[in-house]
Amino acid sequence: MNMASMYWKSACIALLSCASLESTAQVDSTLYKKLITLIESTREQMAPDKRLAVIEFSKTEVPTNSYILQTSDAIIKDTLTHRLAHLGADIQVVAFPTSTVAERPYGIVNLSVANLRTKPAHSAEMATQILLGARVDILDKDGGDFRVRTPEGYIAWVPTSSLVAVSAKELADWEKGDKLIFTNGFGESYSEPNTKSQRVSDLVYGDVLTLINQQGHYYKVSYPDKRIAYIPKDQAVVFGDWIASRDPSSENIISSAKSMLGLPYLWGGTSVKGVDCSGLTKTSFFMNGYIIPRDASQQVLHGEKIDILNEQGEFDATKALKNLKPADLLFFAGGKNKYPNARVTHVAIYIGEGIFIQSAGTVRINSMLPEAENYDDIQAKTIVAARRYLGSEDPAIQKISENKYYSKN
Protein backbone atom coordinates (compact mmCIF):
# COMPACT_ATOMS: atom_id res chain seq x y z
CA MET A 1 0.00 0.00 0.00
CA ASN A 2 1.50 3.39 -1.00
CA MET A 3 1.52 6.43 1.27
CA ALA A 4 -1.37 8.18 -0.47
CA SER A 5 -3.53 5.09 -0.07
CA MET A 6 -2.65 4.93 3.61
CA TYR A 7 -3.71 8.54 4.08
CA TRP A 8 -6.90 7.89 2.14
CA LYS A 9 -7.72 4.93 4.38
CA SER A 10 -7.07 7.07 7.46
CA ALA A 11 -9.35 9.73 6.07
CA CYS A 12 -12.18 7.24 5.66
CA ILE A 13 -11.82 6.16 9.28
CA ALA A 14 -11.82 9.82 10.32
CA LEU A 15 -14.96 10.44 8.30
CA LEU A 16 -16.81 7.61 10.04
CA SER A 17 -15.73 8.64 13.53
CA CYS A 18 -16.55 12.30 12.99
CA ALA A 19 -19.92 11.68 11.35
CA SER A 20 -21.53 10.70 14.66
CA LEU A 21 -20.29 13.91 16.27
CA GLU A 22 -21.13 16.31 13.45
CA SER A 23 -23.75 14.62 11.33
CA THR A 24 -24.68 17.90 9.65
CA ALA A 25 -21.11 18.72 8.54
CA GLN A 26 -20.43 18.77 4.83
CA VAL A 27 -17.52 16.42 4.14
CA ASP A 28 -15.68 16.98 0.87
CA SER A 29 -13.79 13.71 0.48
CA THR A 30 -12.66 14.70 -3.02
CA LEU A 31 -10.94 17.76 -1.60
CA TYR A 32 -9.17 15.66 1.02
CA LYS A 33 -7.94 13.25 -1.62
CA LYS A 34 -6.57 16.17 -3.68
CA LEU A 35 -4.89 17.52 -0.55
CA ILE A 36 -3.15 14.21 0.13
CA THR A 37 -2.07 13.88 -3.51
CA LEU A 38 -0.48 17.34 -3.48
CA ILE A 39 1.24 16.68 -0.16
CA GLU A 40 2.65 13.39 -1.38
CA SER A 41 3.93 14.87 -4.65
CA THR A 42 5.63 17.66 -2.68
CA ARG A 43 7.11 15.14 -0.25
CA GLU A 44 8.45 13.03 -3.11
CA GLN A 45 10.02 16.08 -4.72
CA MET A 46 11.30 18.03 -1.72
CA ALA A 47 11.34 15.72 1.31
CA PRO A 48 11.93 12.14 0.14
CA ASP A 49 14.07 11.28 3.17
CA LYS A 50 12.10 11.71 6.40
CA ARG A 51 15.38 11.65 8.34
CA LEU A 52 16.29 15.00 6.76
CA ALA A 53 12.97 16.74 6.12
CA VAL A 54 9.49 16.50 7.63
CA ILE A 55 6.02 17.17 6.26
CA GLU A 56 3.20 16.14 8.58
CA PHE A 57 -0.26 17.01 9.88
CA SER A 58 -0.49 18.66 13.29
CA LYS A 59 -4.26 19.15 12.96
CA THR A 60 -6.75 17.23 10.81
CA GLU A 61 -10.47 18.04 10.87
CA VAL A 62 -11.88 16.40 7.76
CA PRO A 63 -15.58 17.26 8.38
CA THR A 64 -14.81 20.99 8.48
CA ASN A 65 -12.01 20.88 5.89
CA SER A 66 -9.61 22.40 8.41
CA TYR A 67 -5.96 21.34 8.47
CA ILE A 68 -2.61 22.44 9.84
CA LEU A 69 0.56 21.11 8.22
CA GLN A 70 4.01 21.53 9.69
CA THR A 71 7.36 21.13 7.99
CA SER A 72 11.03 21.37 8.85
CA ASP A 73 11.90 23.66 5.94
CA ALA A 74 10.78 27.21 5.13
CA ILE A 75 11.07 26.61 1.37
CA ILE A 76 8.82 23.55 1.65
CA LYS A 77 6.37 25.66 3.65
CA ASP A 78 6.19 28.29 0.91
CA THR A 79 5.83 25.64 -1.80
CA LEU A 80 3.02 23.84 0.02
CA THR A 81 1.22 27.11 0.78
CA HIS A 82 1.28 28.00 -2.92
CA ARG A 83 0.24 24.55 -4.16
CA LEU A 84 -2.63 24.15 -1.68
CA ALA A 85 -4.05 27.67 -1.97
CA HIS A 86 -6.53 26.79 -4.74
CA LEU A 87 -8.20 23.94 -2.85
CA GLY A 88 -10.61 26.22 -1.02
CA ALA A 89 -10.09 24.61 2.37
CA ASP A 90 -8.85 26.06 5.65
CA ILE A 91 -5.23 24.94 5.32
CA GLN A 92 -2.40 26.46 7.31
CA VAL A 93 1.24 25.51 6.72
CA VAL A 94 3.79 26.33 9.42
CA ALA A 95 7.54 25.77 9.57
CA PHE A 96 9.50 24.62 12.59
CA PRO A 97 10.27 25.70 15.22
CA THR A 98 6.78 25.40 16.67
CA SER A 99 5.42 27.92 19.16
CA THR A 100 6.22 25.53 22.04
CA VAL A 101 9.97 26.06 21.53
CA ALA A 102 10.12 29.40 19.70
CA GLU A 103 11.67 31.31 22.61
CA ARG A 104 14.58 28.88 22.91
CA PRO A 105 14.93 27.19 19.51
CA TYR A 106 18.52 26.01 20.00
CA GLY A 107 19.98 23.29 22.13
CA ILE A 108 23.43 22.40 23.44
CA VAL A 109 24.04 18.77 24.34
CA ASN A 110 24.69 18.42 28.08
CA LEU A 111 25.59 14.71 28.32
CA SER A 112 28.74 12.93 27.19
CA VAL A 113 26.56 11.11 24.64
CA ALA A 114 22.89 11.89 23.99
CA ASN A 115 20.66 9.25 22.41
CA LEU A 116 18.28 10.38 19.67
CA ARG A 117 15.23 8.30 18.78
CA THR A 118 12.79 8.03 15.89
CA LYS A 119 9.81 8.89 18.12
CA PRO A 120 9.33 10.83 21.38
CA ALA A 121 9.51 7.74 23.61
CA HIS A 122 12.23 5.90 25.52
CA SER A 123 11.04 2.67 23.92
CA ALA A 124 11.44 4.02 20.38
CA GLU A 125 14.21 2.92 18.02
CA MET A 126 17.51 4.71 18.55
CA ALA A 127 18.32 6.68 15.41
CA THR A 128 21.65 8.29 16.22
CA GLN A 129 23.74 9.90 18.93
CA ILE A 130 25.24 13.33 19.45
CA LEU A 131 28.07 14.44 21.69
CA LEU A 132 28.46 16.87 24.57
CA GLY A 133 28.74 20.49 23.47
CA ALA A 134 27.25 19.92 20.03
CA ARG A 135 24.66 22.44 18.93
CA VAL A 136 21.28 21.41 17.55
CA ASP A 137 18.20 23.20 16.28
CA ILE A 138 15.15 22.54 18.45
CA LEU A 139 12.15 22.13 16.16
CA ASP A 140 9.32 20.88 18.34
CA LYS A 141 8.46 19.50 21.78
CA ASP A 142 6.32 16.54 22.79
CA GLY A 143 6.10 15.89 26.52
CA GLY A 144 9.62 15.24 27.78
CA ASP A 145 11.26 15.15 24.35
CA PHE A 146 12.56 17.70 21.86
CA ARG A 147 12.58 17.10 18.14
CA VAL A 148 15.96 18.36 16.94
CA ARG A 149 18.10 18.77 13.84
CA THR A 150 21.75 17.71 14.18
CA PRO A 151 24.81 19.25 12.47
CA GLU A 152 24.54 16.73 9.61
CA GLY A 153 20.85 17.62 9.15
CA TYR A 154 19.42 14.51 10.83
CA ILE A 155 16.01 14.98 12.47
CA ALA A 156 15.11 12.91 15.53
CA TRP A 157 13.84 13.08 19.12
CA VAL A 158 15.93 13.50 22.27
CA PRO A 159 14.94 13.76 25.96
CA THR A 160 14.75 17.37 27.11
CA SER A 161 17.09 16.44 29.98
CA SER A 162 19.87 15.74 27.45
CA LEU A 163 20.03 19.36 26.26
CA VAL A 164 20.18 22.89 27.52
CA ALA A 165 17.67 24.90 25.49
CA VAL A 166 18.86 28.43 24.70
CA SER A 167 17.72 31.60 22.95
CA ALA A 168 19.64 33.16 20.08
CA LYS A 169 21.37 35.55 22.50
CA GLU A 170 22.24 32.77 24.94
CA LEU A 171 23.63 30.71 22.07
CA ALA A 172 25.75 33.64 20.88
CA ASP A 173 27.11 34.13 24.40
CA TRP A 174 27.99 30.43 24.63
CA GLU A 175 29.69 30.47 21.22
CA LYS A 176 31.93 33.38 22.25
CA GLY A 177 33.77 31.30 24.81
CA ASP A 178 36.92 29.34 23.98
CA LYS A 179 36.25 25.64 23.59
CA LEU A 180 38.07 22.46 24.54
CA ILE A 181 37.63 19.06 22.87
CA PHE A 182 38.17 15.82 24.75
CA THR A 183 40.53 13.58 22.77
CA ASN A 184 40.92 10.49 24.93
CA GLY A 185 38.71 7.54 24.07
CA PHE A 186 37.06 7.62 27.48
CA GLY A 187 37.56 9.67 30.62
CA GLU A 188 36.04 11.76 33.37
CA SER A 189 35.87 15.34 34.53
CA TYR A 190 36.41 16.17 38.18
CA SER A 191 35.07 18.60 40.77
CA GLU A 192 38.61 19.68 41.70
CA PRO A 193 41.97 19.67 39.88
CA ASN A 194 42.60 16.23 41.30
CA THR A 195 41.67 12.82 39.84
CA LYS A 196 40.72 11.62 43.32
CA SER A 197 38.01 14.28 43.64
CA GLN A 198 34.33 13.74 42.88
CA ARG A 199 33.49 12.89 39.28
CA VAL A 200 31.35 15.49 37.50
CA SER A 201 30.60 13.35 34.44
CA ASP A 202 32.02 10.78 32.07
CA LEU A 203 33.54 11.98 28.79
CA VAL A 204 34.19 10.45 25.37
CA TYR A 205 36.23 11.44 22.33
CA GLY A 206 34.71 14.49 20.65
CA ASP A 207 33.00 16.03 23.67
CA VAL A 208 33.28 19.83 23.67
CA LEU A 209 33.25 22.10 26.73
CA THR A 210 33.86 25.78 27.39
CA LEU A 211 37.42 26.50 28.50
CA ILE A 212 37.66 28.82 31.50
CA ASN A 213 41.38 28.70 32.31
CA GLN A 214 44.31 26.44 33.12
CA GLN A 215 45.26 25.33 36.60
CA GLY A 216 48.48 23.36 36.77
CA HIS A 217 48.04 20.08 34.91
CA TYR A 218 44.31 20.65 34.43
CA TYR A 219 41.91 22.62 32.27
CA LYS A 220 39.06 24.28 34.12
CA VAL A 221 35.91 23.94 32.03
CA SER A 222 32.23 24.78 32.05
CA TYR A 223 29.32 22.63 30.88
CA PRO A 224 26.33 24.01 28.97
CA ASP A 225 24.33 23.95 32.24
CA LYS A 226 27.12 25.94 33.97
CA ARG A 227 28.60 23.04 35.95
CA ILE A 228 32.30 23.56 36.59
CA ALA A 229 34.83 20.76 36.21
CA TYR A 230 38.49 19.95 35.67
CA ILE A 231 40.06 17.79 32.94
CA PRO A 232 43.67 16.55 32.81
CA LYS A 233 45.55 18.47 30.12
CA ASP A 234 46.85 15.34 28.43
CA GLN A 235 43.26 14.28 27.66
CA ALA A 236 42.01 17.37 25.81
CA VAL A 237 43.01 20.00 23.25
CA VAL A 238 41.88 23.56 22.58
CA PHE A 239 39.21 23.16 19.89
CA GLY A 240 40.79 25.59 17.43
CA ASP A 241 44.15 23.84 17.72
CA TRP A 242 42.47 20.47 17.21
CA ILE A 243 40.72 21.67 14.05
CA ALA A 244 43.96 23.13 12.68
CA SER A 245 45.77 19.83 13.26
CA ARG A 246 43.26 17.66 11.35
CA ASP A 247 44.82 15.87 8.38
CA PRO A 248 42.14 13.78 6.64
CA SER A 249 44.52 11.43 4.87
CA SER A 250 43.63 7.83 4.12
CA GLU A 251 46.15 6.70 6.74
CA ASN A 252 44.53 8.86 9.42
CA ILE A 253 40.98 7.84 8.52
CA ILE A 254 41.95 4.17 8.80
CA SER A 255 43.92 4.78 12.01
CA SER A 256 40.87 6.43 13.56
CA ALA A 257 38.69 3.50 12.54
CA LYS A 258 41.20 1.04 14.00
CA SER A 259 41.16 2.96 17.29
CA MET A 260 37.60 1.65 17.66
CA LEU A 261 38.47 -2.02 17.12
CA GLY A 262 36.60 -4.23 19.56
CA LEU A 263 33.85 -1.72 20.29
CA PRO A 264 30.40 -3.32 20.40
CA TYR A 265 27.98 -2.85 17.55
CA LEU A 266 25.23 -0.52 18.72
CA TRP A 267 22.27 0.31 16.50
CA GLY A 268 22.23 4.09 16.19
CA GLY A 269 25.62 4.42 17.88
CA THR A 270 28.01 7.16 16.75
CA SER A 271 30.38 7.37 19.71
CA VAL A 272 33.18 5.34 21.24
CA LYS A 273 30.60 3.81 23.57
CA GLY A 274 29.42 1.76 20.59
CA VAL A 275 28.91 2.26 16.86
CA ASP A 276 26.75 0.89 14.12
CA CYS A 277 28.24 0.45 10.65
CA SER A 278 27.71 4.03 9.48
CA GLY A 279 28.51 5.30 12.96
CA LEU A 280 32.00 3.86 12.46
CA THR A 281 32.48 5.71 9.17
CA LYS A 282 30.92 8.91 10.48
CA THR A 283 33.06 8.91 13.63
CA SER A 284 36.25 8.07 11.72
CA PHE A 285 35.74 11.09 9.48
CA PHE A 286 34.70 13.30 12.41
CA MET A 287 37.96 12.44 14.18
CA ASN A 288 39.71 13.85 11.11
CA GLY A 289 37.72 17.05 10.85
CA TYR A 290 34.81 16.11 8.59
CA ILE A 291 31.05 15.79 8.98
CA ILE A 292 29.46 13.28 6.61
CA PRO A 293 25.90 11.98 6.16
CA ARG A 294 24.63 9.81 9.01
CA ASP A 295 23.33 6.51 7.58
CA ALA A 296 24.76 4.04 5.06
CA SER A 297 21.81 4.59 2.72
CA GLN A 298 22.62 8.32 2.79
CA GLN A 299 26.40 7.97 2.57
CA VAL A 300 26.16 5.95 -0.65
CA LEU A 301 24.50 8.92 -2.37
CA HIS A 302 27.60 11.07 -2.02
CA GLY A 303 31.25 11.10 -3.00
CA GLU A 304 32.93 9.83 -6.16
CA LYS A 305 31.61 6.56 -7.59
CA ILE A 306 34.26 3.85 -7.86
CA ASP A 307 33.79 1.05 -10.40
CA ILE A 308 33.84 -2.34 -8.66
CA LEU A 309 31.07 -4.16 -10.57
CA ASN A 310 31.15 -6.25 -13.75
CA GLU A 311 28.86 -5.76 -16.76
CA GLN A 312 26.13 -7.79 -15.06
CA GLY A 313 26.22 -5.52 -12.03
CA GLU A 314 27.88 -8.13 -9.81
CA PHE A 315 30.84 -7.48 -7.54
CA ASP A 316 34.16 -7.98 -9.32
CA ALA A 317 37.01 -8.55 -6.86
CA THR A 318 39.70 -8.08 -9.51
CA LYS A 319 38.27 -4.72 -10.56
CA ALA A 320 37.83 -3.71 -6.92
CA LEU A 321 41.46 -4.47 -6.08
CA LYS A 322 42.53 -2.35 -9.05
CA ASN A 323 40.26 0.66 -8.50
CA LEU A 324 39.78 0.97 -4.75
CA LYS A 325 42.01 3.16 -2.60
CA PRO A 326 42.44 3.11 1.18
CA ALA A 327 39.66 4.97 3.06
CA ASP A 328 37.12 4.43 0.25
CA LEU A 329 33.71 3.37 1.52
CA LEU A 330 32.26 -0.03 0.60
CA PHE A 331 28.50 -0.45 0.57
CA PHE A 332 26.47 -3.61 1.01
CA ALA A 333 22.82 -4.56 0.45
CA GLY A 334 21.62 -7.35 2.71
CA GLY A 335 18.73 -8.21 0.39
CA LYS A 336 20.84 -8.23 -2.78
CA ASN A 337 20.32 -11.92 -3.50
CA LYS A 338 16.52 -11.60 -3.20
CA TYR A 339 15.84 -8.20 -4.72
CA PRO A 340 17.63 -6.68 -7.75
CA ASN A 341 17.50 -3.12 -6.38
CA ALA A 342 17.92 -3.91 -2.70
CA ARG A 343 18.50 -0.96 -0.39
CA VAL A 344 21.97 -0.32 1.00
CA THR A 345 22.05 -1.62 4.56
CA HIS A 346 25.74 -1.68 5.52
CA VAL A 347 28.97 0.26 5.01
CA ALA A 348 32.66 -0.38 5.70
CA ILE A 349 35.98 1.41 5.22
CA TYR A 350 38.42 -0.10 2.74
CA ILE A 351 41.95 -0.57 4.08
CA GLY A 352 43.69 -2.07 1.05
CA GLU A 353 44.57 -5.44 -0.50
CA GLY A 354 40.98 -6.62 -0.19
CA ILE A 355 40.76 -5.83 3.53
CA PHE A 356 38.10 -3.62 5.13
CA ILE A 357 37.08 -2.54 8.63
CA GLN A 358 33.44 -2.68 9.67
CA SER A 359 31.10 -2.64 12.65
CA ALA A 360 29.20 -5.92 12.51
CA GLY A 361 28.67 -7.46 15.93
CA THR A 362 31.86 -5.67 16.90
CA VAL A 363 34.29 -3.38 15.11
CA ARG A 364 36.52 -5.82 13.25
CA ILE A 365 38.73 -6.27 10.18
CA ASN A 366 37.71 -8.65 7.39
CA SER A 367 38.58 -9.47 3.80
CA MET A 368 36.55 -9.63 0.62
CA LEU A 369 38.89 -12.29 -0.78
CA PRO A 370 37.79 -15.95 -0.34
CA GLU A 371 41.33 -17.21 0.23
CA ALA A 372 41.89 -14.91 3.23
CA GLU A 373 41.60 -16.27 6.78
CA ASN A 374 39.38 -13.36 7.78
CA TYR A 375 37.13 -13.62 4.71
CA ASP A 376 33.59 -12.44 5.43
CA ASP A 377 31.51 -14.41 2.96
CA ILE A 378 28.19 -12.89 4.06
CA GLN A 379 29.32 -9.30 3.50
CA ALA A 380 31.51 -9.99 0.46
CA LYS A 381 28.56 -11.50 -1.39
CA THR A 382 26.43 -8.40 -0.85
CA ILE A 383 28.83 -5.62 -1.96
CA VAL A 384 26.96 -3.29 -4.31
CA ALA A 385 28.89 0.00 -4.47
CA ALA A 386 31.95 1.99 -3.47
CA ARG A 387 32.46 5.71 -2.95
CA ARG A 388 35.51 7.93 -2.49
CA TYR A 389 35.05 10.76 -0.02
CA LEU A 390 38.63 12.00 0.22
CA GLY A 391 39.19 14.69 -2.37
CA SER A 392 35.49 14.97 -3.16
CA GLU A 393 33.91 18.41 -3.45
CA ASP A 394 30.47 17.07 -2.58
CA PRO A 395 28.87 19.62 -0.18
CA ALA A 396 27.51 16.78 1.96
CA ILE A 397 31.13 15.96 2.89
CA GLN A 398 31.87 19.05 4.93
CA LYS A 399 34.77 20.29 7.00
CA ILE A 400 33.81 20.76 10.64
CA SER A 401 35.37 24.23 10.48
CA GLU A 402 32.86 25.16 7.74
CA ASN A 403 29.78 23.67 9.39
CA LYS A 404 27.58 26.38 10.93
CA TYR A 405 26.98 24.31 14.04
CA TYR A 406 30.72 24.21 14.84
CA SER A 407 32.32 27.10 12.95
CA LYS A 408 31.94 29.57 15.83
CA ASN A 409 33.70 27.28 18.29
Q: Which range is least confidently modeled, 141-145, 148-152, 379-383?
A: 379-383
Domains and CATH numbers, the chain: 3-95 (no CATH), 106-174 (2.30.30.40), 177-244 (2.30.30.40), 251-388 (3.90.1720.10)
Print burial letters for 65-103: b (CB count within 10 Å at least 16), e (below 16): bebebbbbbeebbebbeeebeebebebebebbbbeebee
| Amino acid identity, position 104 | R
Q: Is the pTM of this model over 0.95?
A: no
Give percent of the chain above pLDDT 70. Answer: 93
Q: Which range is least confidently modeled, 5-14, 24-33, 112-121?
A: 5-14
Cα 181–Cα 182–Cα 185 angle in degrees, nearest 5: 145
Residue 34, pLDDT > 70, answer yes
- CA nearest to 131, candidates 270, 229, 310, 27: 270
pLDDT at 29: 75
Q: Residue 21: which pLDDT band, with cuts at 50, 70 and 90?
A: very low
Q: Residue 233: which pLDDT band, with cuts at 50, 70 and 90?
A: very high
Q: Compute the chain's Rg from CA coordinates.
A: 24
pLDDT at 407: 76
- CA nearest to 95, candidates 41, 149, 144: 149
CB atoms within 10 A of CB 229: 24
Q: Residue 27: which pLDDT band, with cuts at 50, 70 and 90?
A: low
- CA nearest to 266, candidates 277, 258, 275: 275
Contact 302, 396 (CB under 8 A): yes
Q: Which range is least confidently modeled, 61-65, 152-156, 195-199, 280-284?
A: 61-65
Mean pLDDT, to the nearest integer, of 245-268?
98
Cα 349–Cα 393–Cα 271 angle in degrees, nearest 5: 40
Q: Which range is least confidently modeled, 5-19, 198-212, 253-267?
A: 5-19
pLDDT tens, residue by residue, 162-180: 999 999 999 999 999 999 9
Give percent of the chain above pLDDT 90. Answer: 85
Q: Residue 13: which pLDDT band, with cuts at 50, 70 and 90?
A: very low
pLDDT at 340: 75
Residue 312, pLDDT > 50, answer yes
Q: Residue 255: CB partners within 8 Å, gap ≥ 6?
A: none
